[in-house]
Amino acid sequence: MNITSIKSTYGYIGFIPFAILSLAPWVLGGEIAKISIQFQLAYGSIIITFLGGFAWGWPDDQKNQALNLSYGIGFSLLGCSMLLLTYFGFIMTALILAIISFYLFYLFEKSTVIFDTKDDDYQKFRKILTLLVCISFLISSGYWINPYSSPYL
């Protein structure tokens, strides 16, 4: 088993909580739905903060590495902001920020020299995983704004 296969396997295993937590509100409803979406946002904030830290491990001689470090810190701060927004009850704002953060991180990673050196399978995997995570947040957003299911109506 090559390293790309291992990364893909672990990546998809890491996606399972996103999938479960985005579908649980539609299946279970009620207070569990609200808690599920809050957990999804908390998990997402941890993941985007972790991803932001990747820039620290990239080679220092990489083009624009000082800027990459700044972007990495920015993504970590976005993750913290998602968590704070969730804590203070701004769930829809946090969901939108999550979608934007994950997609922007993919674009950021794709723009680096490191990404260009990865094989095609890894590049496809990162694109699919990012889209799946964004879709999971869209599913939760749909539940949150649905007038028949919204926890606040």
Segment-wise mean pLDDT, segments of 10 residues, the chain, 153 residues: 80 94 92 94 96 80 80 93 96 96 94 82 91 97 86 60
Residue 137 falls inside a structural domain: yes
Q: Let me know how many helices (H) and strands (E) the chain has, helices first.
A: 6, 0
Q: Which amino acid is at 27?
A: V
Residue 72 falls inside a structural domain: yes
Cβ neighbours of residue 45 under 8 Å, at least 6 residues apart? 79, 80, 82, 83, 86, 98
Direct distance between the N- and C-terminal alpha carbons of the chain, in angstroms, rounded to an integer = 50
The pLDDT score that the predictor gives to residue 13 is 93
The pLDDT score that the predictor gives to residue 55 is 79
In terms of residue numbers, what domain contains 87? 3-145
Residue 152 falls inside a structural domain: no
Give CA–CA dist 69/30, Å, rounded. Answer: 42
Cβ-in-10-Å burial (0-12, 13-18, 19+) of 63 comes to exposed
């396997």: which residue's tokens?
Answer: 9
Residue 54 falls inside a structural domain: yes
130 in helix, strand or coil? helix
Residue 109 falls inside a structural domain: yes
Q: How many structural domains comprise the chain? A: 1
Residues in the chain: 153
The pLDDT score that the predictor gives to residue 98 is 97
Cβ neighbours of residue 5 under 8 Å, at least 6 residues apart? none
Give CA–CA dist 72/95, Å, rounded. Answer: 20
The pLDDT score that the predictor gives to residue 152 is 63
Cβ neighbours of residue 23 under 8 Å, at least 6 residues apart? 139
